[in-house]
Amino acid sequence: MSDASVTLAEQLLEARASGQRLRVCGARSKPWMATANAQWLDLSAHRGVVSYKPAELVVVVRAGTPLAELDAVLAEKNQMLAMEAPDFNGCSTIGGAVALGWAGSRGVFAQGVRDSVLGVRMLNGEGELLRFGGEVMKNVAGFDVSRLMVGSNGLLGALLELSLKVQPRPVAEITLGWDVPDLAETRQRVAEWTRRGLPISGASLEHGRFRARFSGPAAVLDDLAKTLGGEPEDGVFWEQLRRLERPLFHHGWGDEKLFDANGQICWTAHSRRQGEGATVSLAQGPDLHKSAHRSLLTRVASAFDPAGVFAAALA
């Protein structure tokens, strides 16, 4: 539990004065963040839950707090984040999760990361400490900078603190498995279940095995298991997926793909030489939709960071 915001602002201003570029980082857990042509502005010491009001469904947390730590605090009150952000090496931070903007296995059926973000405290490129949004459910005062920050990957400044909407944990969950021919088949089933209002909360296809997760009251899930058929599976699968701990990620399956989030996220892993593990890569992810408005993006970045301290994030 410590507040490093003053130190971080000083570090930023020093870098700005000397023309040094910075990259914001938390746990540096994202495989593609391994190298960067800049110095790190390291948020990992800025951590801890600032306030948590379970009856308000709101938690305020410093950006460097590990997801696992936040999850544990929420679990004590039988709550959780609506998103199931990837926890690549078991120490990913909440700030990194929001900056990435992936909602993971559950997100596609519930809500995206931006739907959980109620407010932020941040440092812009000028080293100014700013607060946008807040801790209430509805807030349209001024422009929606809090949600603008989702997916910004450190381009607009450093997220210091987040107020997030939380939700009750489901009373129970089941995972059912089927062997299916392809992704089209899984999507068709998911569409049908969604139309019927079934409480689906995960859909993944790995090596011809389709796994679907449902969340809700135990009695409802028992009935569902009977009507839908399928074989009961271990729910730990989703935790492994979130941490990239499925066998695919360790030794690779050639051209085989692993689909998560009803096909929105697709992983591949190519074998290296024996004993060296696999190269994990993302064939398709929710943030890979290339936007066609680079000039606007550049102007928005300059609005937050006129000196270009964080411009390396745009490269």
Partner 1 sequence: MNTYIDPAPDAVDRAALQAALASVLPAQAILAEAEQQRPYECDGLPTARALPLLTVLPETVAQVQAVLRCCSELGVPVVTRGAGTGLSCGATPLESGVLLVTSRMDALLSVDPQRRTARVQPGMRNLAISEAVAPYGLYYAPDPSSQIACSIGGNVAENAGGVHCLKYGLTVNNIEALTVVTMDGELLELHVDDEGPDLLAAFIGSEGLFGVAVEITVKLLPVPATVETLLVGFDSVADCASAVSAIIAEGVIPAGMEMMDRLALTAAEAFAGAGYPQEAAAILLIELDGEAALVAAELAVVEATLERCGATSLRRAQDAAERALLWKGRKSAFPAVARLRPDYYCMDGTIPRSEIGAVLGYIAERADHYGLSVANVFHAGDGNLHPLILFDANAGELDKAERLGADILERCVAAGGTITGEHGVGLEKINQMAVQFSDAELAQFRRLKQAFDPRGLLNPGKTIPTLRRCQEYRAILADRAA
Give the amino acid at 83. M
Q: Report the nearest approach of partner 1 to the CB of residue 152 (Å).
A: 4
129: left (phi over 0), alpha (psi -120 to 50) or beta: beta
Specify whether the CB–CB gap between 102 and 153 falls below 8 A. no
Among residues 31, 48, 54, 90, which is the contact residue for partner 1, using CB under 8 A? 54
What's CA 67's distance to the chain center, in Å?
9
Nearer to partner 1, 94 or 248 (CB): 94
Region near partner 1 per CB under 8 A, out of 17-25, 62-70, 255-263, 288-296: 288-296
Q: How many CB atoms lie within 10 A of CB 188?
A: 11
Q: Report the nearest approach of partner 1 to the CB of residue 198 (Å).
A: 6
Nearer to partner 1, 34 or 184 (CB): 184
Nearer to partner 1, 223 or 234 (CB): 223
Nearer to partner 1, 36 or 297 (CB): 297
Question: Binding to partner 1 by residue 101, rule CB under 8 A?
Answer: yes
Question: Binding to partner 1 by residue 291, rule CB under 8 A?
Answer: yes
Give me the residue label for tokens 């074998």. Answer: 271
Nearer to partner 1, 132 or 237 (CB): 132
73: its two tokens: 């605090």
Count the residues of the shown chain that bind partner 1, applying the rule CB under 8 A: 71
Among residues 141, 254, 275, 315, which is the contact residue for partner 1, using CB under 8 A? 141
Question: Binding to partner 1 by residue 156, rule CB under 8 A?
Answer: yes
Nearer to partner 1, 8 or 248 (CB): 8
Q: How far apart are CA 113 and CA 83, in angstroms?
A: 6
Q: How far apart are CA 29 and CA 93, in angstroms?
A: 9
Nearer to partner 1, 168 or 232 (CB): 168
Window 211-230: residues binding partner 1 (CB under 8 A)? 216-217, 219-220, 223
Window 183-212: residues binding partner 1 (CB under 8 A)? 191, 194-199
Q: Among candidates 243, 289, 228, 295, which has minimal Cα distance to 264?
A: 289
Give residues with Cβ within 8 angstroms of 215, minimum separation 6.
170, 172, 173, 199, 201, 221
Among residues 68, 137, 236, 283, which is the contact residue for partner 1, using CB under 8 A? 137
Among residues 55, 184, 226, 254, which is the contact residue for partner 1, using CB under 8 A? 55
Q: Report the nearest approach of partner 1 to the CB of residue 120 (Å).
A: 11
93: its two tokens: 């931070």
Region near partner 1 per CB under 8 A, out of 8-16, 135-143, 174-182, 255-263: 135-143
Q: How far apart are CA 74 and CA 94, in angstroms?
A: 13
Q: How far apart are CA 76 and CA 302, in angstroms?
A: 42
Q: How far apart are CA 191 and CA 188, in angstroms?
A: 5
Question: Binding to partner 1 by residue 134, rule CB under 8 A?
Answer: yes
Residue 200, exposed/middle/buried by CB under 10 A (0-12, 13-18, 19+)? buried
Among residues 52, 302, 308, 311, which is the contact residue for partner 1, using CB under 8 A? 302
Window 226-265: residues binding partner 1 (CB under 8 A)? none
Cα distances (Å, whole numbers) of residue 191 to 173, 185, 196, 262: 20, 10, 9, 10
